[in-house]
């Protein structure tokens, strides 16, 4: 399949080291993304853009940067997105994740499940925001957006 990501690099240079839990979420998100994703670039000059793609995800000048290249390493596009639309949902996600990690250590399964449902809801909201922000730049399915949102959280300053 050509409409997919086949490599992901995260440039977290200069950012605080993520917690052990977030680092684990990052590894799982990358693994799951590489196993299954749908990522399509729009046509250019009337011709379909052909992947698969390599993604370099970073923060530059306080903007989220998606730099895409072909498998052969040829530049395929670069999107710069404002972090503003992500701030509240990332903040909410970090708060609910902290609650979840604390709950796993001490609360009964029913309470953990309730917190996890809230966490999934916030995660879905983050995926929706990402899909909206990438509209016209790239098309991705919900699972791909969810996993990329996880990676954005790892990169988001002050998360």
Q: Show pLDDT as tens, one digit a residue, over the chain (159 residues).
A: 689 999 999 998 877 787 788 888 889 999 999 999 999 998 877 777 888 999 999 998 889 999 999 999 999 989 999 999 999 999 999 899 888 888 888 888 888 899 989 989 999 999 999 999 999 999 999 999 999 999 998 887 554
What is the C-alpha to C-alpha distance for residues 36 and 58, in angstroms, rounded to an integer?
22
What is the C-alpha to C-alpha distance for residues 88 and 95, in angstroms, rounded to an integer?
11
Rounded CA Rg of the chain: 16
Under DSSP, the state recorded for 108 is -
Q: Are strands 5-11 and 53-60 parallel, antiparallel or unpaired?
A: parallel
Q: Is the pTM of this model over 0.85?
A: yes
- Number of separate domains in the chain: 1
The residue segments making up the domain with residue 146 are: 5-155
Query: What distances in angstroms separate CA 156 from CA 10, 60, 81, 98, 133, one per listed residue?
Result: 12, 11, 12, 16, 16
């Amino acid at each position: 399949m050509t409409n997919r990501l086949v490599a992901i690099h995260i440039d977290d240079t200069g950012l605080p080291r993520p917690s052990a839990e977030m680092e684990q979420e990052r590894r799982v998100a990358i693994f799951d993304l590489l196993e299954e994703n749908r990522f399509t670039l729009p046509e250019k000059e009337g011709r379909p853009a052909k992947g698969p793609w390599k993604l370099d995800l970073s923060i530059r000048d306080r903007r989220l940067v998606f730099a895409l290249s072909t498998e052969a390493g040829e530049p395929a596009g670069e999107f710069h997105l404002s972090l503003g639309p992500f701030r509240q949902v990332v903040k909410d996600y970090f708060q609910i994740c902290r609650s979840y990690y604390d709950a796993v250590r001490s609360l009964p399964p029913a309470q953990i499940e309730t917190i996890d449902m809230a966490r999934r809801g916030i995660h879905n909201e983050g995926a929706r925001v990402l899909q909206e922000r990438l509209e016209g730049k790239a098309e991705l399915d919900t699972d791909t957006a969810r996993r990329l949102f996880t990676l954005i959280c790892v990169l988001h300053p002050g998360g």
